[in-house]
Each structure stands twice: as C-alpha cells, then as structure tokens.
Amino acid sequence: MIKTNFHTHTYYCDGKDSPEEMVLAAIDKGFTSIGFSSHSYLEKDAQYVMSRESAEKYRNEIHTLKEKYKDKIKIFCGIEQDYYSQTPTDVYDYVIGSVHNILKNGEFLIVDGSVDEMTRQLECYYQNDFDAFAEDYFSLIKDVVVKTNADIIGHFDLVLKNCERIPYKPTKRFLTAAERAVKELVKYQKPFEINTGAMARGYRTAPYPLPEILKMIYENNGSIIFSSDCHDKSKLDFGFDVSKPLALEIGFKKQAIITENKIEYVDII
C-alpha cells in the first residue's frame, strides 16, 4: 500500500506537533507524500480550528517545508473545510469537506463531541431519537462538495463517533439516510475517506464509514482514500492495517492520492 496520508492536523489547529515534526515522522515511516489539512476557521466553534490570523503563516510554513524536503517527500498544503466555514479554499492544494456541526433551532450542535454532549443534544433536540439526529447530519453532508468545494469527502458517518459507547446500532432508517447522501455525493466523483482517526484516539474500534456504507459507496461506483485524521505524529498510519483489507474485501481496487494534478488513482497493493 502506498504510504501517504492527506488528513493531518498540527498545532496550527488541534494537532499536537509542528508541521516539520510531522514531515520528519512521515519520512521516517517511508511515506512518499504527506498533506496537511488544518481545520478551517469557524466563528461559532473556534476552540479547535485554525485562527484567521494564522492561516497565512500556516500556508507559508508548509510551502517552506515543501522546498526544504523536496528531495525526500512530496508535501501538500490542504484545508479541512467545515460545511459552515466561509473562508476561501482556492489558496490550498486540496480541500477535505467535513460536517462537524448541525445548526438546530439556533444552536450549533456538535456532531463529534463527547458522549455527555451527545446525550444532552439527543435529549434536548431529538427526544432521544438518534436516527433523527443522523438524518439531519446526512442531509447536510450530502451537500458538502458544493458547500466546501471538496476534493475529498471527510469522515462520511462522523455521527457514529460515539456509537460503541452510547451505544447505538445503525437502523434501517439510519442506513436509508446514509444511502441517500451516498447517491448524491457519488455524482461529484470525489473520494470518500476511510478514516481511522477515531480508532487512533480510542473512541472506536473500526474506521469511518461502516462496512455497510462502504459497500453502498462501492456499489454506486464511488471511490475511496485512506487517512488517519492524524493529530499526533506517531499515528500517521494508524489503523491502515485494518482499513486496507477492509477496502479490498468490499471490492475496491484503487485508492485516491493527492498529486500535483489534485487527485489520482493508484492500485491498492
């Protein structure tokens, strides 16, 4: 499997390490390329995102590293653009489009918050109907490519972050809402992530999205890209030993990678 990861966070947002530390770790692991994807600025939920002021510094620093390490690794400067972000994306090499919030009755609900936060939101806004929460989420993510100009669809079923701990088992209603969004999104021919970020942080034992959803993506001629949504340089390839066989078992033969031509597809080997 080609060693690469285009979904990584540094201390410019909620990651732990500097961009250079991440680059050195990637070189150490034998990566051929690495992409940075800081969280886009979001006024309503500013704790974990990159500030407006530091975005330019971030781009300059990645471009300096690009030059410095050009003989060792290809480096790309991307952004994880939130559904509700307004900041421009055309200054980046590529865009991951993600939904982290749902605007509900004037409150900005958190899709990937703690179990306590999720429980509170379900009680206050959904009468404990998780499927209704998921339906709202999928109705947003189905438009994520249009809203964010995404090249990559981020953690498609992020709403299941806490499903092993709440616990919640996806129902037919949940899967119907997911399939509606898959069918809309495949039209844009952008890869869906197989994202091991929640495994790396101990929230889940399996990647996003569910195998049933991966099957839907495959059956609707969608494509995939591997990532670990990395917030810690030691986790750059975390869980790839799980996601690769999973993708092959579903039937995928190719994985997307970012190149100078934006997206290319290579064999999963």
Closest CA to 148 of 78, 63, 71: 78
Q: Which is nearer to Zn ion, 80 or 184 (CB)?
A: 80
The nearest distance, CB 97 to Zn ion, in angstroms, is 10
The nearest distance, CB 9 to Zn ion, in angstroms, is 6
Binding mask 148-167 for Zn ion (x = CB under 5 A): --------------------
One residue of 17, 151, 184, 229 binding Zn ion per CB under 5 A = 229
For 57, 71, 151, 258, the CA distances from 12, given in Å and listed in that order, are 9, 25, 21, 21
**Are 236 and 16 within 8 A, CB to CB?**
no
Q: Which is nearer to Zn ion, 16 or 173 (CB)?
A: 16
Q: Where in 28-87 is the site for Zn ion (CB under 5 A)?
A: 80
| Measured distance CA(222)–CA(184) in Å, rounded | 11
Helix axes 211-219, 240-250, angle to 10 degrees: 50
The nearest distance, CB 269 to Zn ion, in angstroms, is 26
Q: Which is nearer to Zn ion, 54 or 173 (CB)?
A: 54
Tokens representing 161 are 């972050």
Helices (H) and strands (E) in the chain, counts: 9, 11
Q: Which is nearer to Zn ion, 59 or 161 (CB)?
A: 161
Helix axes 172-185, 211-219, angle to 10 degrees: 40
Q: How many residues bind Zn ion (CB under 5 A)?
A: 3
| Measured distance CA(114)–CA(148) in Å, rounded | 25
The nearest distance, CB 132 to Zn ion, in angstroms, is 22
Assign 8 to helix, strand or coil: strand
Q: Residue 43 — φ and ψ, nearest 5°?
A: -60, -40
Helix (H) or strand (E) holding 15: none
| Residue 98 in the binding site for Zn ion (CB under 5 A) | yes
Stretch that binds Zn ion, among 62-70, 202-210, 226-234, 246-254 (CB under 5 A): 226-234
Alpha carbon of residue 265 to chain centroid: 18
| Measured distance CA(230)–CA(237) in Å, rounded | 8
| Measured distance CA(246)–CA(252) in Å, rounded | 9
The nearest distance, CB 98 to Zn ion, in angstroms, is 4
Q: Which is nearer to Zn ion, 98 or 162 (CB)?
A: 98
Binding mask 174-213 for Zn ion (x = CB under 5 A): ----------------------------------------
Q: Which is nearer to Zn ion, 38 or 223 (CB)?
A: 38
The nearest distance, CB 71 to Zn ion, in angstroms, is 28
The nearest distance, CB 251 to Zn ion, in angstroms, is 26
Q: Which is nearer to Zn ion, 80 or 135 (CB)?
A: 80
Binding site for Zn ion (CB under 5 A): 80, 98, 229
